[in-house]
């Protein structure tokens, strides 16, 4: 679409040089690491205040322009694609850390603050923000996709760590969803409604977050297993015993092979678990002892653990470098990163069936995941431009999601629906999606907020 | 209102003797322990399946009859009052424990299951359901009020412990809000929308819950403080150090006095903290040592702790008997139980100002609370039939909520809005309430679901 000249004039009057229709900048804001072709917006706007966002919403409402909120652009389901044109709201200039309430262990930040920026800022307070989806994502984007990542098993996801949101609604009001108390039974949980709404209900302009005390002691561990069932069973046992695992990550043989090749490591090419333990000195040692016992009972071997930061980094190198190693290893391919999440009792079965399916498909597709939550990723690699390979990737993906759903799982544990999983959401929740649509219509009757995401034809 | 005869015939055809207009039964279902006068429904229905609830919803829609879901009737803000007549859905006959998935540490229950029933059922599995609001509330009611209680500081509230809900919507569909995976990024968080909706959006007919491993060791502790600030500061310090307190309860001097008098105890009449620690043997001993150090630093004395169940019960007797002791001590009064929740850094100030205000009001009003969350209760006692005392109680309550709001707190940490806090919800969240209303209208356009709760004129 072309923006009406009057709208352009209004945006320019409001934002000056912070409004642009530059083709380069629009192209950047319509491209991500998803497997979809990019879809650039017609303009990119860089608001600095909630009031500017409000004024933008009013202009967009007047001209019926779609609005796509944009954080760091690190999501993987095409969330930032301008399916129906319109304007991209790049929130990166709203990146102030508004308040740190150290005594209450909470902070208030603008949505463009990234998680690394926040943790750098917090360093001297003894506090940290735990959610780690891998990329240096923005807090607003992480809220919008209900992000989680490696230490959700201990600290929860964005859902559990957001105390309140300030939101500019589709109808242009600035609202606050909650006060700063740790818990509340006051009315509908609007905070949780906007978390994971993928920008389809409003624009997040401020986020109140819980933060946590940096643990006295951090220990890392690695353990190799002869088979996947043993690895999963040892994690289940540790969780049932109440061991408060801070992270527990799984890499499959294919991932280890990629990392060995690219990063010149020589890890045994077997299912491998990477652990992290947080607590007091005594508590983490006790945790390590229990996990080692449980791992050994289930066929784990070569258990190593480390306390010093440099040794911890060395132990975890394979996990930290997994995504980049896979990209480098599978050069010339387009990667289709997806995730599902199943009850942990079904996880081994789900991963094994997926591995067999991949092996029969002739594609390279490593598996890694956050096993404490039952959540795993598959990076399906298909040769760029090879339509046949893409067809196979699509079919593999379809079977993967179907398998997770058949095991009472979800079509996405942490990536979100975006463009890519709209039909699976219907498969997963059926009639409940109609309720979501009614909420969407009630709060965004013109369907201007990130249209084409979560719902078909929306 | 009088029910139309055709509706009566339809209910009788559907439910037989599980439909009643008995005045006694209706009166029971319209009375609770709130300070409001009872408001009985016109009929009480006892459904046994989601399909029956669905059929009831269709009849109620046809005749525009209000529907009030009823669990164990233990809520305290008049949630179960039939403000506009209509039918009460007593869910107590939907009390099956549908599934226990021990490996996944989750269960599926019908809404009429009570928390004690669930814990009795789980005893042999090594698992337990931690949320403890005091009363033996039903799981459906606890979901609807977003209940929490004494060990939310460690295990979270109903919000964090519900995995999925089955709901009969106002329009009569049976929907499921989520699958059984531990986390999901699939669409809007309908689970959280129905949690705390107080029956205003639909009828909960099944609840999927997280359960937890029964800890190896449980230790209880009690500590007396010369002043409230010291008590609160020692809790804040313990939390900041990462001590995973399982419970930390505060009783003020007035509560201790009531308990001493009624239960023949001889506790020092000072601010007192009651602790519970969960973990391995070593871990709980370490926790106790840290908490004792921190308490002593902040003027705590007489720290006692116990491990055996009978000793733990003895130590915690004052806390367990607090509510009944207050009722017995303040015989001849009507009690107005309310709660607020503030950031913990403001908690001492908020409680102290409230204590001063109570002392000036000439009313008996003990204070007790879940200090780890910043949440406290006041039991305002006013002589039955004494209008002047009731006016004072109302003014005291109004100032209490205003004080909590002025400290960035919420008008209710765990009781809910019900009839009693409708105007305070507006004070607290202002424009956000309009969004809640739009959601209510979208999902319940005829305003049949528990009308008169959460919103004025609804």
Q: Return phi, psi of residue B76, to 5°.
A: -125, 15
CB contact under 8 A, A185 and B412: yes
pLDDT tens figures, A350-383:
999 999 999 999 999 999 999 999 999 999 999 9
Q: What CATH number does the domain containing A108 carry?
A: 3.30.465.10
Q: What CATH number does the domain containing A353 carry?
A: 3.30.70.2740
Residues A102 and A21 in one domain: no
CB proximity A342 to B under 8 Å: yes
- From start to end of B5-155, where are the E strands? 19-20, 43-45, 67-70, 87-90, 97-101, 106-109, 127-128
| Residue that is last in its domain, among B213, B241, B276 | B213
CA distance B85 to B83: 6
Residues A337 and A318 in one domain: no
Residue A1, pLDDT score: 67
Q: Is the pLDDT of residue A217 over 90?
A: yes
The residue of chain B nearest to residue A160, with distances taken between CA atoms, is: B160
Residues A141 and A186 in one domain: yes
Which two structure tokens, joined as six digits, stand for B210?
């997280």
Tell me the CB-side half-sphere exposure of residue A134, using CA atoms within 13 A: 18
If pLDDT is split at 50, 70 and 90, which confidence band does B161 have? very high
Residue A458, pLDDT score: 54
ipTM above 0.95, yes or no: yes
Which two structure tokens, joined as six digits, stand for B113?
């299951």
CA distance B201 to B195: 10
- Percentage of chain B lying above the pLDDT 90 cut: 98
CB contact under 8 A, B341 and A374: no
Residues B176 and B245 in one domain: no
Domain count, chain B: 4
**Best of A183, A244, A288, A294 to mutate (most B CBs within 10 Å, chain B):** A183
- C-alpha of A197 from chain center: 13
> Span A128-141, mean pLDDT?
97
Residue A251, pLDDT score: 96
Q: Give A291's contacts (C-beta < 8 A, 6+ positions apart).
A: A221, A234, A238, A243, A245, A275, A277
Q: What CATH number does the domain containing B88 carry?
A: 3.30.43.10
Domain membership of residue B451 (yes or no) is no
Residue B1, pLDDT score: 67
CA distance A240 to A230: 15
B66-77: b or e for each residue (b if 16 or more CB lie within 10 Å)? bbbbbbbbbbbb
Residues B130 and B161 in one domain: yes
The residue of chain B nearest to residue A435, with distances taken between CA atoms, is: B443
> Span A126-144, mean pLDDT?
97
Residues A118 and A198 in one domain: yes
Ranges A419-423, A454-458, B82-86, B450-454: which has the least confidence: A454-458
Residue B5, pLDDT score: 97
Domain membership of residue A28 (yes or no) is yes
CA distance A77 to A397: 13
Residue B458, pLDDT score: 54
Residue B2, pLDDT score: 84
If pLDDT is split at 50, 70 and 90, which confidence band does B261 have? very high
CB proximity B444 to A under 8 Å: no
Residues A113 and A46 in one domain: no
Task: Judge contact between B113 and B69, C-beta under 8 A.
Answer: no
Q: Which of B240, B278, B435 sits opposite A213 (nearest CB)?
A: B240
SS (H, E, C) A408-439: CCECCCCCCCCCCCHHHHHHHHCCHHHHHHHH
Supply the mean pLDDT for chain A.
Answer: 96
Domain membership of residue A431 (yes or no) is no
Q: Name the 3-class secondary structure at B136.
A: coil
Directed axis angle between helix B50-63 and helix B5-15, to 10°?
170
Neighbour count for residue A416 (Cβ, 10 Å): 29
pLDDT tens figures, A256-289:
999 999 999 999 999 999 999 999 999 999 999 9
CA distance B417 to A383: 57
- Percentage of chain A lying above the pLDDT 90 cut: 98
Task: Name the percent of chain A in helix, strand, coil, to the closest 5.
Answer: 40, 25, 35
> Span B137-142, mean pLDDT?
98
Q: How many Cβ pairs within 8 Å bridge chains A and B?
A: 291
Q: Name the A residues in 276-315 with CB < 8 Å from any B CB.
A: 278-280, 282-283, 286
Contacting residues of B for A410, CB less than 8 Å apart: 178-179, 181, 183-186
| Residue that is last in its domain, among B173, B195, B213 | B213
pLDDT tens figures, B389-403:
999 999 999 999 999
Q: Which of B152, B180, B197 sits opposite A183 (nearest CB)?
A: B152
Contacting residues of A for B282, CB less than 8 Å apart: 282-283, 286
Domain membership of residue B242 (yes or no) is yes
Contacting residues of A for B345, CB less than 8 Å apart: 101, 103-104
Angle at A30 between CA A26 and CA A35, to 5 degrees: 155
Q: Is the pLDDT of residue B457 over 90?
A: no
Domain membership of residue B450 (yes or no) is no
CA distance B251 to B371: 10
> Span B428-457, mean pLDDT?
96
Domain membership of residue A359 (yes or no) is yes
Task: Judge contact between A38 and A31, C-beta under 8 A.
Answer: yes
CB contact under 8 A, B187 and A195: no
Contacting residues of B for A158, CB less than 8 Å apart: none
Quick one: how many helices (H) and strands (E) in chain B?
17, 18
> Span A451-457, mean pLDDT?
92
pLDDT tens figures, A281-334:
999 999 999 999 999 999 999 999 999 999 999 999 999 999 999 999 999 999
Residues A97 and A206 in one domain: yes
> Span A74-91, mean pLDDT?
97
CA distance A100 to A127: 10
Q: Name the B residues in 26-85 with CB < 8 Å from any A CB.
A: none
CA distance A52 to B31: 50
**Residue B199 structural domain:** 94-213
| Residue that is last in its domain, among B92, B125, B148 | B92
- From start to end of A121-183, where are the E strands? 127-128, 162-169, 174-176
Domain membership of residue B415 (yes or no) is yes
Residue B456, pLDDT score: 87
If pLDDT is split at 50, 70 and 90, which confidence band does A2 have? confident
Domain membership of residue A458 (yes or no) is no
Residues A185 and A109 in one domain: yes
Residues A84 and A120 in one domain: no
* Bridge partners, B449 (sequence order): B67
Residues B229 and B271 in one domain: yes
Residues A196 and A108 in one domain: yes
The residue of chain A nearest to residue B213, with distances taken between CA atoms, is: A240
CA distance A27 to A39: 8
If pLDDT is split at 50, 70 and 90, which confidence band does A196 have? very high
- From start to end of B227-327, where are the E strands? 247-251, 272-279, 300-306
């Amino acid at each position: 679409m072309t923006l009406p000249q009057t709208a352009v004039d209004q945006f320019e009057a409001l934002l000056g040089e912070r409004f642009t229709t530059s083709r380069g900048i629009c192209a950047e804001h319509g491209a991500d690491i998803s497997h979809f072709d990019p879809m650039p917006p017609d303009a990119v706007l860089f608001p600095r205040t909630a009031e500017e966002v409000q004024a933008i919403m009013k202009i967009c409402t007047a001209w019926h322009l779609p609005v796509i909120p944009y954080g760091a652009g690190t999501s993987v389901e095409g969330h930032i694609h301008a399916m129906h044109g319109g304007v991209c709201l790049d929130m990166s200039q709203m990146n102030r850390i508004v308040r740190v309430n150290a005594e209450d262990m909470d902070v208030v930040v603008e949505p463009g603050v990234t998680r690394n920026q926040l943790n750098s800022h917090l360093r001297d307070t003894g506090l940290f923000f735990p959610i780690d989806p891998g990329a240096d994502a923005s807090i607003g984007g992480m809220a919008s996709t209900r992000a989680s990542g490696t230490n959700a098993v201990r600290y929860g996801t964005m859902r559990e760590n957001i105390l309140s949101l300030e939101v500019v609604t589709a109808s242009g009001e600035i609202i606050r969803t909650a006060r700063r108390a740790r818990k509340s039974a006051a009315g509908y949980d609007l905070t949780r409604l906007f978390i994971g709404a993928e920008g389809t209900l409003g624009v997040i302009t401020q986020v109140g977050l819980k933060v946590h005390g940096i643990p006295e002691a951090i220990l890392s561990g690695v353990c190799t297993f002869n088979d996947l069932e043993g690895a999963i069973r040892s994690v289940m046992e540790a969780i049932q015993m109440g061991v408060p695992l801070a992270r527990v990550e799984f890499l499959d043989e294919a991932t280890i092979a990629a990392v060995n090749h690219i990063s010149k490591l020589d890890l045994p090419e077997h299912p491998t678990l990477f652990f992290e333990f947080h607590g007091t000195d005594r508590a983490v040692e006790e945790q390590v002892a229990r996990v080692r016992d449980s791992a050994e009972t289930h066929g784990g071997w070569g258990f190593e653990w480390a306390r010093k930061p440099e040794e911890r980094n060395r132990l975890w190198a394979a996990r930290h470098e997994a995504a980049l190693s896979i990209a480098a290893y599978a050069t010339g391919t387009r990667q289709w990163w997806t995730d599902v999440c199943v009850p942990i009792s079904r996880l081994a079965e789900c991963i094994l069936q997926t591995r067999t399916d991949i092996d029969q498909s002739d594609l390279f597709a490593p598996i890694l995941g956050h096993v404490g939550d039952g959540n795993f990723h598959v990076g399906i690699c298909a040769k760029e431009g090879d339509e046949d390979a893409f067809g196979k990737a699509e079919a593999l993906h379809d079977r993967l999601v179907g398998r997770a759903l058949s095991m009472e799982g979800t079509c996405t544990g942490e990536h979100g629906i975006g463009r890519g999983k709209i039909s699976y959401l219907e498969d997963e929740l059926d009639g409940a999606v109609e309720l979501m649509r009614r909420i969407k219509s009630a709060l965004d009757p013109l369907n201007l907020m990130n249209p084409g995401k979560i719902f078909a034809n929306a």
